[in-house]
Amino acid sequence: MLLKNGYLHTGNGDIIASAAIGIKNGTIVLLKNSLAYSHSVSDWDTIIDLKGKHVYPGFVAANSTLGLTEIDAVRATRDFHETGIYNPHVRSQIAYNVESEVIRTVRSNGVLLCQPTPRGGVISGTSSIMAMDGWNWEDATILANDGVHINWPNSTQRMADNRAIQEKSKDYGTQKQELYSFFEAASSYASTKKPEKDLRYEAMTDCFREKKRVYFHADDLQQLNDIIDFVQYFKLSAPVIVGGYDAALVARKLKDAKIAVMLYRPHSLPKREEEAVNQPYSTAFKLQEEGVLFCIQNEGDMEAMNARNLPFLAGTAHAYGLTEEQAIAAVSLNACKIIGIDKKYGSIETGKSATLFVSDGNALDMRTNNVTFALIDGKIVDLGNKQKDLYIKYKQKYQQGIK
């Protein structure tokens, strides 16, 4: 397949105003300027003229419950929260539902990869990286068991009258020590012979062998500083902060400690009364300025359904400091670097997977984002969904009375 004359955003910061993208067996084998590339009809099975439309790498919904929930209000469709406190052995991969109607809606906006992530407890479980299409969860798996997710204890608590003012949590020290003790036990288990298997510690073993990431869900300054110390104490490889509301305050420490950040939803209100109203919009730019590796994610209310708005979260970050290509990287290549699949996904380059989409206009702007064509590993993706079907249905209904 050859896609030609598209306005290409590669995801790594480069732009080709009129690109020719050659795809063979699901892999990008050619990337040239269309004006400088001559070909015959017999060179390719399929040639598609994009006529100046925008081409992007598939966006990545990091830290999401996509595929793990269908209707949040219906408990039977919520497969992301297990009982128990320490559940590193709980895997989201096998619970991923490729037939989800929510997934069909989300991918129609260019979100083609996701990281289904467990929730709840102190250690929620282990996430995996999945394609937003496939026959079953095995077929959709891109990277199994990429990392364990830790909900770091809250360092503050609200006042008794629930005012915005917060005070230091009295249980923080004890809860933090319990987490240290669990990791100490898991580390000892990983370095010794096991007379009997412990599923929880087995799931933690690769965290100490540089094969599995550790994701720390935390926001406040005290939490972030303590996580940096925790990472250095246990010598964890590829640690990641998820949330990171105060990450800009310790950006240099995070960079020096080589800790990446999955940044909280930019479409948020400030947590504190004294903060600027646009602080959530501009945090991405501050991390970019300090050289911290970060991506934008959408954890929060109705996060699975609202993952369709991921391009527009990046668009807001672009409006508040990031360049357009930096904003695109924040939901594509940067996310893939953080979750460990950047050698194959995240940007449009020769040798990488043909996971990309085409939009009539700028995909980061809700006024012009209109995805007309998408590929996952070189396979054409159906961009239809229930909302589009209902739109067409009722559009025809009300046009029947118009002459």
pLDDT at position 132, please?
95
* pLDDT over threshold 90, residue 280: yes
pLDDT band at 159; cut points 50, 70, 90: low
* pLDDT over threshold 80, residue 126: yes
Closest C-alpha to 132, from 79, 56, 60:
60
* pLDDT over threshold 70, residue 288: yes
Q: What percent of the chain has pLDDT over 70?
A: 96
pLDDT at position 192, please?
86
* pLDDT over threshold 70, residue 314: yes
* pLDDT over threshold 70, residue 194: yes
pLDDT band at 27; cut points 50, 70, 90: very high
Give the mean model confidence (pLDDT) for residues 368-376.
96
Q: What is the 3-state secondary structure (H, E, C) of the chain?
A: CEEEEEEEECCCCCEEEEEEEEEECCEEEEEEEHHHCCCCHHHCCCEEECCCCEEEECEEEEEECCCCECCCCCHHHECCECCCCECCCCECHHHCCCCCHHHHHHHCCCEEEEEECCECCCEEEEEEEEECCCCCHHHHEEEEEEEEEEECCCCEEECCCCCCCEEECCCHHHHHHHHHHHHHHHHHHHCCCCCCCCHHHHHHHHHHCCCCEEEEEECCHHHHHHHHHHHHHHCCCCEEEEECCCHHHHHHHHHHCCCEEEECCCCCCCCCCCCCCCHHHHHHHHHHHHCCCEEECCCCCCHHHHHHHHHHHHHHHHHCCCCHHHHHHCCCHHHHHHHCCCCCCCCCCCCCECCEEEECCCCCCCCCCCEEEEEECCEECCCCCHHHHHHHHHHHHHHCCCC
Pairing between β-strand 2-9 and β-strand 47-49 as defined by DSSP bridges:
parallel
Give the mean model confidence (pLDDT) for residues 38-47.
87
pLDDT at position 193, please?
78
pLDDT at position 36, please?
86
Closest C-alpha to 365, from 313, 325, 323:
313
pLDDT at position 163, please?
53
Note the pLDDT tens digit of each residue in 59-68: 999 999 999 9
pLDDT at position 374, please?
96
Q: Report the C-alpha gap between 1 and 23 in whole angstroms.
A: 5
Note the pLDDT tens digit of each residue in 145-157: 999 999 999 988 7
pLDDT band at 50; cut points 50, 70, 90: very high
* pLDDT over threshold 60, residue 173: yes
Give the mean model confidence (pLDDT) for residues 161-171.
67
pLDDT at position 403, please?
53
Q: What percent of the chain has pLDDT over 90?
A: 78
pLDDT at position 400, please?
74
Give the mean model confidence (pLDDT) for residues 314-343.
97
Give the mean model confidence (pLDDT) for residues 112-131.
95
pLDDT band at 83; cut points 50, 70, 90: confident
pLDDT at position 84, please?
86
Spell out the domains of the chain, with CATH numbers in brackets.
Answer: 61-346 (3.20.20.140)
Mean pLDDT of the chain: 92
